[in-house]
A = this chain, B = another copy of it.
């Protein structure tokens, strides 16, 4: 059995990885690490683990993790991830990096949007963007998988079938996304205090969220043309889940059936995409605690407006579930292994 380790095991996404790996049928857990000195019982973070479970999260030690692991999941904040993921890659491990550090192909874009220097530009062309629905073939052979951001996953999967089949115009794509609070991570912040979020709702980083270039890069690769989007994220008073309402215009003459068909075929061929049809839409409840991306659409014949609504669990299909899906693909397992009935 191959062994997986998690560097950054106490984050929300690290914790989800523990939960899934603990009952994955084909791999076992090696090292779980943290930046703090203190040892942590994994059951304190994942209370659903059985009483017999004795996994311990320990201070990060590169050599120990390298020795123990075939696969290393890195869930560190961006810029910290860069170095660690790079080091394990150099050590010939299979690295799945959940940070933003290897998602953008162009270092200048990264440095613009994240306002940090990139120290491993050499790896940008090695890294494969880990969205299985688009890059499955490359993922099969990748040793550095850049796991997509949560917003990009929901946004791209809603637009992919339309752009792929050339059904929509390129010049007016609006993505209005609403995310649960766990998307902000565990870092202490006034903006995520209960009294601030509870009974509240609002937009943030309007048209300047750092996930924008990631969305545009992937859509441009799909459309074989430069795609710009208007992306507005909002903060929902819920723990987990992202719902994106996407507005685009169909090309002249494209019939409703053709649009629906594009999504139907997509969902049929993908283990983790479900299509609800025209006029039927998912809510967060349908995807929470699952690795699915659920999609519904509507078409306004009057204006040629197409409305696509996608829902994902930001910690699963938007992060850790997708990371496991990538691992399954890379290691040749069933893509659903460990991910059904989460």
Contacts and interface: CB of A to CB of B under 8 A. Distances in A.
Interface of A: 12, 19, 22-23, 47-51, 171-172, 174, 176, 178, 181-182, 186, 188-190, 192-204, 206-207, 228, 230, 232, 234, 236-239, 241, 243, 245, 247, 249, 271, 274, 279, 281-290, 292, 294, 298, 300, 302-303, 305, 307, 309, 311, 336, 340-342
Given A188-B193, A203-B281, A47 B287 contact: yes
B245 A232 contact: yes
A283 B198 contact: no
Contacts of A286: 47
Contact of A243 (B201, B245, B340): B201
Contacts of A274: 51
A202 B284 contact: yes
Contact of A241 (B171, B201, B234): B201
Given A194-B181, A289-B48, A203 B241 contact: no
A281 B305 CA distance: 26
A292 B49 CA distance: 10
Contacts of A282: 202
A292 B206 contact: no
Given A228-B302, A230-B247, A290-B47, A197 B200 contact: no
B247 A202 contact: no
Contacts of A307: 206-207, 230, 232
Contacts of A198: 181, 194, 197-199, 237-239
A290 B228 CA distance: 38
B176 A245 contact: yes
A121 to B, nearest CB: 26
A314 to B, nearest CB: 12
A342 B237 CA distance: 24
22 contacts: A23-B340, A48-B290, A48-B342, A50-B340, A50-B341, A51-B271, A172-B249, A181-B198, A192-B194, A192-B195, A197-B198, A198-B199, A198-B238, A198-B239, A199-B199, A200-B285, A201-B284, A202-B283, A202-B285, A206-B307, A206-B309, A228-B302
